[in-house]
Amino acid sequence: MLEYQSLVFSVAYHFLQASALAEEISQDIFLDLYRNLAKIESAAHLLFWLRRSTTNRCIDQSRKLAYRTEVPISDTFHPASPGEFGDTLLGESLRRQIARLPEWQRAIVVLRYQEDMDPVEIADILNIPVNTVKSRLHRALGTLRQALERKQRVRA
């Protein structure tokens, strides 16, 4: 379990931008894993199961809370291995923009850049066509890039 807790917690944290909620979801995921342990066939299956369960749970949670309207970026939690984005404000702005993306786009961005997965793997996890993953990723990156550029212009 120790090996995978960082994966699960990070997906939830980056998706929801709230450590308490991310921990709650992570705990639920591990409880589910405990109940379904007999169904896990291999390490690869476990990795797949954790990524899919966590992502689906985050999407559900996000819809339930209509999360995009209240993004608690300023959480008390400070990640143990924080990003080294030189400009903290721009980093925070980027995270805020990620948190505002529609659920599916957000899930794709998190899996792409946190888990370093390619569109085919992401499509498998989310159970959607590869082309849908590619188009949503393209759209999400466009939104994020524009927001970041706007922020940089304002600062300049």
Among positions 21-40, residues that touch other proteins (CB under 8 A) are: 22-23, 26-27, 30-31, 34
d(CA 156, CA 154): 5
Token pair 């929801």: residue: 16
- 58 within 8 A of 11, measured Cβ to Cβ: yes
Question: Minimum distance from CB of 66 to other proteins (Å)?
Answer: 23
Binding mask 108-127 for other proteins (x = CB under 8 A): -xx--xx-x-----------
Of 5, 56, 135, 143, the residue at the interface with other proteins (CB under 8 A) is: 5
Q: Which of 16, 94, 125, 126 binds other proteins (CB under 8 A)?
A: 94
Q: Which is nearer to other proteins, 115 or 124 (CB)?
A: 115
Structure tokens at 7: 């994966």
Cα 104 to Cα 56: distance, rounded to the nearest angstrom: 10
Residue 91: phi, psi to the nearest 5?
-60, -45
Residue among 106 and 129 whose Cβ is closer to other proteins? 106
Nearest in space to 93 (alpha carbons), one of 146, 21, 136 = 146
Stretch binding other proteins (CB under 8 A), from 17-25, 51-59, 62-70, 126-134: 17-25
The C-alpha atoms of residue 85 and residue 40 are separated, in whole angstroms, by 37
**Where does this chain bind other proteins (CB under 8 A)?**
1-2, 5-7, 9-10, 13-14, 19, 22-23, 26-27, 30-31, 34, 77, 79-85, 91, 94-95, 98, 109-110, 113-114, 116, 141, 144-145, 148
